């Protein structure tokens, strides 16, 4: 089995936000929730870089570790998913997540946190693959159809890469070698405890 990862080549990202839009559309994500976002660092200054960030599907995921009801699970592909039937909307995963991935719909009382929602790596949830229930709760299950996450698939500059970690790391390494520079795989050290040496 492949170990699925995301890699954002910040030297290619042009902050077009198409990945954000594609994600919202593909999964019919409710208003106010962003499973993916593009953060621009040093905006307007020399050296500015944009990074597209969602759930990184961490190794030894912090969200899963702190969840009081243990609603997270990791698939054979290394994708971190959760059950909205078990989630109680406590917000703890957001405190633990290094990437700000968990999102909460404003439905509950006070803290207005409903069931947590996050990037599923286009892999749905615990319901049957491609079922109506799965789509309503988690969005499309592209992985079950043999497709990769839509955000990366339609990235216009191929800045955002998704797929087997070893393959996308290889692609990135070759790019860096060819063009002679690279600002590294953002978040890999934190998420996977490894970096891509180039």
Partner 1 sequence: MSSFSRFIRPAIGAWALLLLVVAAPVPSPAQQVNPTASSVNERQLLQEMDRIQGRVSIPDQRSSVLMQPAGREWREFRNVALRWIGGVAVLGMLAVLVIFYLTRGMIRLESGRSGRTIVRFNTFERFVHWMTATCFIILAISGLNITFGRPLLLPLIGFEAFSEWSQWAKFAHNYLSFPFTIGVVLIFLMWIGGNIPNKVDIEWIKRGGGLFGHDHPPARRFNAGQKGIYWIVVIGGSLVAATGYQLMFPFYLTGIEGMQFSQIVHSIVAVLFIAAMLAHIYIGTIGMEGAFEAMGSGEVDVNWAREHHSLWLDQELARTGPNDSQPQPRHAASAAE
Q: Which residues in this chain contact partner 1 in the complex, by CB under 8 A?
A: 10-11, 15, 17, 20, 32, 34, 37-43, 46-51, 53, 62, 65-71, 85-92, 94-100, 109-111, 113, 180-184, 186-187, 189-190
CB of 124 to partner 1, least distance (A): 18
Q: Tell me the closest approach of the beta carbon of residue 86 to partner 1, in angstroms.
A: 4
Minimum CB–partner distance for residue 68 and partner 1 (Å): 5
In angstroms, the CA 188 to CA 30 distance is 28
Sequence-ordered list of residues with C-beta below 8 angstroms from that of 138, at least 6 positions apart, any chain: 27, 81, 84, 120, 124, 125, 127
**Nearer of residues 1 and 110 to partner 1, judged by Cβ:** 110
d(CA 1, CA 19): 26
DSSP secondary structure letter of residue 35? S
The residue written with tokens 């970096």 in the block is 195
Distance CA 170, CA 76 (A): 21
* Closer to partner 1 by Cβ: residue 1 or 181: 181
Closest contact distance (angstroms) between CB of 154 and partner 1 is 18
Query: CA 128 → CA 12, 76, 198, distances in Å?
Result: 37, 16, 41
- Which one, 144 or 184, has the nearer CB to partner 1? 184
Closest distance to partner 1 from the beta carbon of 143 (Å)? 24
CA 129/CA 141 separation, integer angstroms: 7
Q: Which is nearer to partner 1, 165 or 182 (CB)?
A: 182
């Amino acid at each position: 089995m492949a170990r699925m990862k995301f890699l954002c080549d910040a030297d290619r990202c042009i902050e077009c936000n198409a990945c954000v839009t594609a994600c919202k559309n593909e999964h019919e994500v409710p208003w106010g929730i962003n499973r993916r976002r593009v953060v621009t660092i040093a905006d307007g200054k020399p050296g500015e870089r944009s990074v597209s960030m969602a759930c990184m599907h961490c190794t030894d995921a912090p969200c899963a570790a702190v969840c009081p009801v243990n609603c997270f699970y990791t698939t054979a592909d290394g994708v971190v998913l959760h059950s909205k039937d078990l989630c109680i909307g406590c917000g703890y995963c957001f405190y633990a997540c290094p990437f700000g991935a968990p999102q909460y719909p404003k439905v509950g009382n006070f803290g207005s946190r409903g069931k947590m929602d996050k990037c599923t790596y286009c892999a749905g949830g615990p319901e049957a693959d491609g079922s109506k229930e799965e789509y309503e709760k988690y969005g499309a299950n592209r992985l079950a159809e043999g497709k990769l996450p839509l955000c990366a698939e339609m990235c216009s500059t191929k800045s955002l890469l998704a797929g087997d970690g070893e393959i996308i790391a290889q692609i990135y390494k070759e790019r860096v070698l060819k063009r002679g520079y690279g600002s590294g795989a953002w978040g890999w050290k934190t998420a996977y405890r490894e970096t891509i040496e180039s």
